[in-house]
Amino acid sequence: MFGLNNQYPASFDEEYKTLEDYQGQVVRWCVGCGDNAILTAAQKLLREEQLPLEKCVFVSGIGCAARFPHYMGTYGFHGLHGRALPTAQGIKSRRSDLHVFVNMGDGDCCSIGTAHWIHAVHMNMDMVAMMHDNKIYGLTKKQTSPTTPMGYSTNTTPRGAYLKELNPLTVTLGITNVSFVAQVTEWLPEILLDVIRQAFHHKGFSFVRILQRCPHFTPDIFDSLLADPSKLLMLNHENGIQPSDAIKKVYKAQEMHDPSNLNRAREIAELDDQAHQVPIGILYKDESVPRYEQVIKPEREPSVERRQEVLENAFDNFGIFLNNTAAD
C-alpha cells in the first residue's frame, strides 16, 4: 500500500480500545459544565487501564451529575435520588469482579443520600465514589444544597443560605473504617485524572470530592479560587499526588503530606472552614482497612447438597407466591 514501508510492517492491536469505545450517548450538559471534564477523566482512566466495557458499571442517583452513566459506553444504572451508593453496593456484593464507579452530586450525597454515604464509608466496599460538588442543586434549578456557601443567594434562599456549609471532607474522615479521601478540582485535569486513577487502584471505598463549576447556576462560586492560586493547597507526597513543575509554578502553596497520617488529614480537611484554603490531593489512604466483601465472604463454598436445598426452598416459596398471586 502507498506510504507503507515493508521493512517496518505496521502492527495494530485489534483489541486495543480507544477513547471512543468508552463513550456513550451524546453529552447534553450545558456548555462549559465541569461535569464534562470529569467524564473525560473517567473515560481516559478506562482507556489507560484498557478495562473491558462489560466489566465496568457506573451508578448514579438523580441530578445533572447523574446523567454520567448515559455518557459512558459501559454498563450503568441511573437510579433514584440519593440512592446511588446502596445500588452500587448491591452490584458489588453480587459481582465482586466488576469495577464499580459512583457519580453523585452534592445534594445526592450530602442531603438525600447522607445515611448511605456514612454506611458506604463504614462498609468500605471496593469502589470509586465521585462527588461532583457544584454547591447547588442544578437539575432542580438552583436550590440551596448542604454545601452551598453561607450567604449565597439561591432560589430557595434568595437572601442567602442561612447555614454554614457542610464540609464533606471532615465528615468522611470522621467515619469509622474510612480508607481513602481525596479532593480535586475539575479545572486541573492532570491532577483530576491522577487522583481518580489512584482511587481506582485503592482496594476499598474511595471517596473523591470534585469541585465542579456550574456556569449556568453558580458561575461565580469558584471565582476566588480561580483568581488566586494560593487558595489551593497542593498536598504533595510520593504516596499522593506529584504535580508537574508547570503546576507547581502556578500553585505555590504546597505541603508535603503523608496520606497515612489521619490526624493531619483531619486538620487539613478543616483548612477550608478556618483559613479558606482548599486542599488538593489525597488526604488519607489506608489499604489495611478490611473490606465488607472480605469480611462476609464464607470460608467455604456451600456444598452441592446445600445449594440444591436452597434452590428447592426457593422453588417452593415461588410456587406459594404464584398461587397467592393467582388467587388475587
Of 112 and 125, which CB lies nearer to ligand SF4 in the complex structure?
112
- Which stretch, 13-21, 29-37, 50-58, 295-303, contacts ligand SF4 (CB under 6 A)? 29-37
**Do residues 74 and 22 make contact, with C-beta atoms less than 8 angstroms apart?**
yes
Single out the residue of 35, 106, 165, 186 in contact with Mg ion (rule: CB under 5 A).
106
Strand partners, 103: 60, 130
CB of 36 to ligand SF4, least distance (A): 8
CA distance 117 to 133: 14
- Which stretch, 101-109, 114-122, 218-226, 302-310, contacts Mg ion (CB under 5 A)? 101-109
Considering the rule CB under 6 A, would residue 166 count as an interface residue with ligand SF4?
no
Cell numbers of 171, please? 465528615
Of 215 and 302, which CB lies nearer to ligand SF4 in the complex structure?
215
CA distance 22 to 214: 24
Single out the residue of 27, 30, 175, 262 in contact with ligand SF4 (rule: CB under 6 A).
30
- Which stretch, 28-36, 54-62, 93-101, 257-265, contacts ligand SF4 (CB under 6 A)? 28-36
Considering the rule CB under 6 A, would residue 200 count as an interface residue with ligand SF4?
no
Of 29 and 222, which CB lies nearer to ligand SF4 in the complex structure?
29
Single out the residue of 33, 188, 233, 269 in contact with ligand SF4 (rule: CB under 6 A).
33
CA distance 224 to 200: 31
CA distance 41 to 24: 14
Q: Say which entry of Mg ion, ligand SF4, none residue 35 contacts (CB below 5 to 8 A, set by partner kind).
A: ligand SF4
Own/partner pairs, 87-94, CB within 8 angstroms, 24+ separation: 87/59, 88/57, 88/59, 88/120, 88/125, 88/127, 88/129, 89/120, 89/123, 89/125, 89/127, 89/292, 91/57, 91/59, 92/125, 92/126, 92/127, 92/293, 93/125, 93/292, 93/293, 93/296
With cell 456549609, the residue in question is 165
Considering the rule CB under 6 A, would residue 186 count as an interface residue with ligand SF4?
no
Considering the rule CB under 5 A, would residue 134 count as an interface residue with Mg ion?
yes
Q: Which residues bind ligand SF4 (CB under 6 A)?
A: 29-30, 33, 35, 64, 134, 138, 214-217
